[in-house]
Amino acid sequence: MKCLVVDDSGITRRILVNSLRNIGFDTIVEAADGRIALELCDTTFDVVITDWNMPNMQGVELVRSLRAKPEFAKLPILLVTARNLKADVVEAVDAGISGFVVKPFTPEIIKLKIEELLASSDADKATGTEG
């Protein structure tokens, strides 16, 4: 499985990468901001995990940019952020996120959310409701 991890914090990226390896991801690509992530993202990724607050291009802007492309319409995107106000969650959902995790998080929470997203994505494929 292949994941794109987007966060301006190297420590957070390292925690996410270790969590993903424990889940079974064999290819993990890292980006320090949304602009770099947008350049790196292609249809070979199974999931994207992004922070919200980053320089150059924020996470919600990245989500909107990805969702604007038909090939990424159903790509599971997990937003991992310290922002947790109701308005933030609404904005993120409107942008097209698939899941939301509030920092600080544990590897177990990341594992659970990723498994939920992948199960949902597999169900869409099985029923023919994907993109």
Smallest CA-to-CA distance from 47 within 14, 89, 17, 83 is with 17
Instruction: Give pLDDT tens digits along the chain (131 positions).
Output: 999 999 999 999 999 999 999 989 999 999 999 999 999 999 999 999 999 999 999 999 999 999 999 999 999 999 999 998 999 999 999 999 999 999 999 999 999 999 999 898 776 666 555 44
> Domain containing 50 — which CATH number?
3.40.50.2300
User: Distance between CA 50 and CA 79 in Å, rounded?
Assistant: 5
Say if CB 76 and CB 115 are below 8 A apart.
Answer: no
What is the number of domains present in the chain?
Answer: 1
Say if CB 47 and CB 75 are below 8 A apart.
Answer: yes
Q: What is the pLDDT of residue 120?
A: 85
3-state secondary structure of 95: helix
Q: What are phi and psi of 27, to 5 degrees?
A: -130, 120
Read off the tokens for 26.
């064999």
Range of the structural domain that residue 62 is part of: 2-127
If you ran DSSP here, which 8-state letter would residue 17 be given?
H
Q: What is the pLDDT of residue 131?
A: 46
Residues facing 91 on adjacent strands: none
Say if CB 35 and CB 2 are below 8 A apart.
Answer: no
